[in-house]
Amino acid sequence: MDLPLIVQQIDQFTVIEFHTPSLMDPPLLERLGQAVYRLVDEEDRRLLVLDFSQVQFLSSQAIGVVLTLKKKLDKLPHSTMVLCGVGPTLMQLIKITRLDRVLTIKPTQAEALKVPLP
C-alpha cells in the first residue's frame, strides 16, 4: 500500500507533505515512521520540513514519530526540522503538550523554507 506522503527536495530542504486528514492508524504510522526515519538514517537528509497542511487529526503515536525524528536530527550536526501547515486543532494539541517550546513551527511551507540554516 502506498503511503500518504510526498517527499520532494526544495533547495537544501527535504519537504515531507502528509496527504491524509488523519494520522491516527497505528499500522500506517509505523510505516510512515520507518519511511521518514530512513530519510535521515540511510539517505542522510538533515534539513526537513514536515507539512501538515492536509492533516486534521494526529494521534500520540504520530507525535512520537515527530519527536523521534527530532531526536535523530538533534544528534546530527547541521540539521534542523521545521513543521508547517499546522492547523488550529493540531496547534492546540501541540500547545497543550507544550511541544511548541521544542518544535520549530511556521504557518506555511514557504516560511518554513526561509528558516535560517544551522
**What are the b/e assignments for 82-92, b being 16+ CB within 10 Å?**
bbbbbeeebee
Residue 118 covered by a domain: no
User: CB of 88 within 8 A of CB of 64?
Assistant: no
Residue 62 covered by a domain: yes
Residue 91 covered by a domain: yes
Res 39: pLDDT:
98
Could you tell me the residue range of the domain that residue 40 belongs to? 5-112
The CATH number of the domain where 68 resides is what?
3.30.750.24
DSSP 53-73: TT--EE-HHHHHHHHHHHHHH
Task: Give the integer Cα–Cα distance in Å for 41 and 84.
Answer: 22
Residue 117 covered by a domain: no
pLDDT in tens, 48-97: 999 999 999 999 999 999 999 999 999 999 999 999 999 999 999 899 99
Res 2: pLDDT:
86
Residue 46 covered by a domain: yes
Domains identified in the chain, total number: 1
Residue 26 covered by a domain: yes
User: CB of 82 within 8 A of CB of 104?
Assistant: yes
Res 1: pLDDT:
54
Which band of pLDDT confidence, cut at 50, 70 and 90, is reported for residue 18? Answer: very high
Residue 12 covered by a domain: yes
